[in-house]
Amino acid sequence: MKKAYTLLGLGALAAMTGQAQQRPNIIYIMCDDMGYGDLACYGQKYIATPNLDRMATEGMRFTQAYAGSPVSAPSRATLMTGQHSGHTHVRGNKEYWRGKDVPNLYGRNSDFEEGWAGQEPYDVNHKILPEILKENGYTTGMFGKWAGGYEGSASTPDKRGIDEYYGYICQFEAHAYYPNFLNEYSRSRGDKKTHRVTLEENIKYGMPGSDDYLKRPQYSADLIHQKAMAWLDKQTKDQPFLGIFTYTLPHAELQQPNDSLLQAYQNHFCQEHTFRSQVGNRYHGTEQAHAQFAAMITRLDFMVGEIIAKLKAKGMDENTIVIFTSDNGPHEEGGADPTFFNRDGLLKGLKRSTHEGGIRIPFIVRWPGKVAAGEVNDHQLAFYDVLPTFCDVAGIKDFPKAYQRNEKDYYDGISFFNTLTGKDDQQQKHDHLYWEFHETNMMGVRMGDWKLVVKNGNCSLYDLSKDLHEDNDVAKQHPDVVKKMVDIIHKEHTPPTVPEFKVTLPKKQ
């Protein structure tokens, strides 16, 4: 039996003084497909995000933070496992539906029928983030998208260290905001497993594309947030907690309640965008895609404001670290128009691309009294750095010694705790960051200011210090740099255990 971690820092201080001093609480808020430039504090000119802007002025805003992958499931896998996408088991959005293995299912479905639904499960032999914190004394709650295993698999929230869960097990289902069901699990209530909760008022009306679809009253984004807030309200000062809030806004279907948040943007834009839908299409149409998208981000901003206000009201504000980020770059599904909202063209590429626009994301950290207010930081980090950072926040030292099964059971992340706490001179940095993604057959490596993008095995090299938009391929001028970065790929890539996740590696130079 493996020994528990040694708790240092606050835990050790409490032991020496004989005083009870709770370890810090952690809230990780990750939205869905928000681009690097979709927040006002990152340069957005058309969308109001006052709470997130305030969070940035009260905390630290990172300018070179990266998702783990350019799409949802594998990006979340890097967060949960602490592994980059050359080592994770989950490297793509492989779908399961009604017990059948259906890779890349993006068509019509009747989601009310019982059966399996979800994505490729996480490796059950590799300890993930909530399991580690749960085993070291933290209460854990997760609300939103899971995407780490299909219903009934060996990797559902109840089996992976989550005390309370509410949301979408299946990320395919999460494309619609007025679904037929959501999933739920509560350890304290005595639930035996994660189960479906039928949204009885929604199923009275038609599916996306039907005339009466918008009569559905149960809006999933609101339901998930309400559950998260109810869970947060139950937390106490004498028990540390980890909250993972994986909100689905502003992804996919551009629909929401016709309330003041949406009405503020109606007829606001000189240029609108229409998206047409048909019955059976997973996205309902809209005549005002720009207004819908902007309001969804402002709605998300409002939710973040409520979370921080709740922490203050409970006297937990100064003992809780809050992180806000996005799972990957912006999408253009369901009528979304990232070109309109990011007209400065700062980054090249969208979701599914290993160019900067597909993987560089907003990343804001707020921790009053610990994280310097108003700092803009250019430390290079990726999602697989979050697990070791949270272990440091919780006072958990040398976690791989306790959980690493063998030398190939990787934990690739480097804690950025020193950067957060003003010790930049002591911060260990990555020699390189790494991505691979099979759907577009792309890979990426960042090494200092150098960025290598590989597509179909062909290499392009960019100097981000001079060419942030990745317009000028300088591979021919720097063959030595290309060789070094190709060698990194061959060192970091391990063959996927799921055949669909295969990518084309560049030839060794």
Give mean pLDDT in consecutive 10-residue pieces for the chain, a chain of 509 residues.
37 38 93 96 96 98 98 98 98 79 39 68 97 98 97 95 97 91 96 94 89 95 98 97 98 95 94 80 88 98 98 97 97 91 86 98 97 97 98 96 93 98 97 98 98 98 98 98 98 97 96
Distance CA 412, CA 85 (A): 10
**What pLDDT, on a 0 to 100 scale, did the predictor assign at position 104?**
33
**368: Cα separation from own chain's centroid:** 23
Take residue 288 and report the two structure tokens written for it. Answer: 């005002």
**What pLDDT, on a 0 to 100 scale, did the predictor assign at position 279?**
61
CB 476 within 8 A of CB 461: no
Local structure of 78: helix, strand or coil: helix
Output the furthest CA–CA distance in the chain (Å, rounded). Answer: 66
Local structure of 161: helix, strand or coil: coil
**What pLDDT, on a 0 to 100 scale, did the predictor assign at position 472?**
98
**What pLDDT, on a 0 to 100 scale, did the predictor assign at position 103?**
40
**What pLDDT, on a 0 to 100 scale, did the predictor assign at position 280?**
60
Take residue 301 and report the two structure tokens written for it. Answer: 């901003």
Take residue 443 and report the two structure tokens written for it. Answer: 């890979």
Local structure of 456: helix, strand or coil: coil
**What pLDDT, on a 0 to 100 scale, did the predictor assign at position 247?**
98
**What pLDDT, on a 0 to 100 scale, did the predictor assign at position 108?**
37
CA-closest candidate to residue 243, choices 263, 227, 259, 223: 227
Burial of 81 (0-12, 13-18, 19+ CB in 10 A): buried
Strand 433-437's sheet: what is its strand order? 433-437, 442-447, 450-455, 458-463
**Global pTM value:** 0.93
CA-closest candidate to residue 38, choices 347, 460, 276: 347
Take residue 298 and report the two structure tokens written for it. Answer: 């402002």
Distance CA 331, CA 74 (A): 16
**Across the strands, what pairs with 360?**
66
Helix axis angle for 289-313 and 220-234, nearest 10°, is 10
Burial of 19 (0-12, 13-18, 19+ CB in 10 A): exposed
Take residue 493 and report the two structure tokens written for it. Answer: 């890539």
CB 82 within 8 A of CB 384: yes
- Domains, the chain, ranges and CATH? 10-18+31-424 (3.40.720.10), 441-509 (3.30.1120.10)
**What pLDDT, on a 0 to 100 scale, did the predictor assign at position 3?**
35
CB 428 within 8 A of CB 417: no
Backbone angles phi, psi at 175, to 5 degrees: -70, -20
Give the H/E segment covering residue 291. Answer: helix 289-313
Distance CA 353, CA 196 (A): 34
Distance CA 180, CA 22 (A): 40
Distance CA 336, CA 328 (A): 15
Q: What is the CA radius of gyration of the chain?
A: 22
CB 117 within 8 A of CB 169: yes
**What pLDDT, on a 0 to 100 scale, did the predictor assign at position 208?**
85
169 Cβ contact list (under 8 Å, min separation 6): 117, 118, 146, 149, 150, 151, 156, 157, 183, 194
**485: Cα separation from own chain's centroid:** 27
CB 121 within 8 A of CB 81: no
Q: Between the CA atoms of 471, 477, 483 and 489, what dihedral angle is there, to the nearest 10 degrees?
A: 0
**What pLDDT, on a 0 to 100 scale, did the predictor assign at position 92?**
97
Q: Between the CA atoms of 144, 148, 151 and 153, what dihedral angle is there, to the nearest 10 degrees?
A: -150
CB 150 within 8 A of CB 118: yes
